[in-house]
Amino acid sequence: MSMSSNQDWLARSQAAVWHPCTQMQHHVQTASPGHLPLIPIASGKGAWLYDFDGKRYLDGISSWWTNLFGHANPRINAALKDQLETLEHVMLAGFTHQPVVELSERLSALTGGALGHAFYASDGASATEIALKMSFHYWRNVGRPGKARFLCLQGSYHGETVGALAVTDVAIFKDAYAPLVRAATVLPSPDFRLAETGESPADVARRAAAALEAHLEKHGEHIAALIVEPLVQGATGMAMYDPEYLRLARQLCDRYEVHLICDEIAVGCGRTGTFFAHEQAEIRPDLMCLSKGISGGYLPLSIVLCSDTIYEAFLDDSVARAFLHSHSYTGNPLACRAALATLDIFESDNVLTANRLKSARISTVLAPLAEHPKVRHLRQRGMIAAFDVATDDPHFSRKFYRAALEREALIRPIGNTVYLMPPYIISDEEIAHLASAVTDALEEALK
Ligand SMILES: *Cc1c(COP(=O)(O)O)cnc(C)c1O
């Protein structure tokens, strides 16, 4: 086993594993410009991943936005080892345990008590499904079954299961399955790149909110919820927008009696500068989805937090009024313990404050790119930095990805959008390493 090299694992993986979000043919055709290398990872430490041939890669996108405090983090490892010796799993229907209780209490406290109960699942898409079902079922329970439709934003991404695709507006994930999906209404995005001459980001937000208002005025009585990714729409290519949109959306949802669901799966856990992104608009949602970073990037865990009003509408002697949703691993103790260790690190290391310096550092090192003739909309919100590249090359993203790997960096553009979303333990030297990898890979990919 220990003698295995990259080549062996590559061949065995291609023969047996169907990799996610991948045209598997791109792994095979090594000579094509669309080639996507498959990299067997032997180990990880801090911000670095190591392959079987001793090559290393700086994890510039936190392993799909999940890893906050580095790979093989000693404190999370220690918590998990302890939990492993205590309780690995117990079903959460009819049973409870220390990690799930403590995690629920701490997350509720982080919302200032506005969201009093936590419901558990394993992946982000399941959290979306749960939030949609909860909202729909709430309206039924309070005698308004006509409120059954959902609103989402252009370019939104809330996961890829059939229910979550209803509120996802990214063509490559959705188009093939359109006949299976009961699509939601897609409303204009407040993405500040859509600014017309003379418009500020807040103006774009107000224009998008006016479209929301016009829709609610006509159809509000049929609408259960609006779901948004607060401040940054990740999967569509790091579209960023002004908090003004969330403030106005909150007011409109209140006025037209529509739930506001904040999908904080990507932007929660400090990513945008505050612990939850919605805090920057000084609002609270009715329902919030968390996943990705909440377990520190260790284990599949997702959570839906809801207001007491929603929770209480399900309380009744009748089982039919209850929320009967479940997954086998709901509230898994190991995953919850990883999340508790993650929250401990936020507190003991004053992470939000420390990240302010890191995000300023990232802005500084990327700033020269603003002058690059092919770079558009260099933008940043906390620990997410992005820019678009003006090119018609359909292979740009994979060319850039390969060029970055050759420079010891894992940076995986979304279409023509290059972004950095590093783990919070990244050092100044590592930030500099990422910036030079970005600059050089950009030249190489544009050749
Ligand atoms: C990743 C993501 C999801 C889906 O999470 P999975 O764990 O991949 O199912 C949902 N919403 C947002 C905003 C995401 O970034």
| DSSP per-residue codes, 386-414 | EEEE----TTHHHHHHHHHHHTTEE---B
Residues 278 and 383 in one domain: no
Residues 434 and 286 in one domain: no
Residues 118 and 29 in one domain: no
User: Which ligand 1 atom is at minimum distance from the Cα of 124?
Assistant: 5
**63 CA distance to ligand 1 centroid (A)?**
13
Cα torsion 60, 234, 302, 110 to 10°: value is: 90
User: Which ligand 1 atom is at minimum distance from the Cα of 128?
Assistant: 10
Q: What is the pLDDT of residues 229-252, one digit of tens each?
A: 999 999 999 999 999 999 999 999
Strands across the sheet containing 259-263: 115-121, 302-307, 287-290, 259-263, 223-228, 149-153, 185-187
pTM over 0.75: yes
CA distance 305 to 278: 14
Integer angstrom CA distances of residue 381 from 240, 243, 244, 349, 436:
8, 11, 15, 21, 20
CA distance 133 to 149: 11
**372 CA distance to ligand 1 centroid (A)?**
32
Q: What is the pLDDT of residues 281-340, one digit of tens each?
A: 999 999 999 999 999 999 999 999 999 999 999 999 999 999 999 999 999 999 999 999
Q: What is the pLDDT of residues 209-234, one digit of tens each?
A: 999 999 999 999 999 999 999 999 99
Pocket lined around ligand 1, Cβ cut-off 6 Å: 123-125, 128, 157-159, 229, 234-235, 263, 265-266, 291-292
User: What is the extent of the structural domain holding 54?
Assistant: 6-72+351-445
Provide the CATH number for the domain around residue 362.
Answer: 3.90.1150.10
Residues 283 and 143 in one domain: yes
Q: What is the pLDDT of residues 112-171, one digit of tens each?
A: 999 999 999 999 999 999 999 999 999 999 999 999 999 999 999 999 999 999 999 999
User: Which ligand 1 atom is at minimum distance from the Cα of 300?
Assistant: 7
Q: How many domains does the chain have?
A: 2
Residues 196 and 334 in one domain: yes
Q: Is residue 1 part of a domain?
A: no
Residues 303 and 269 in one domain: yes
pLDDT band at 28 (very low <50, low <70, confident <90, very high): confident
CA distance 127 to 388: 30
**What's the mean per-residue pLDDT of the chain?**
97
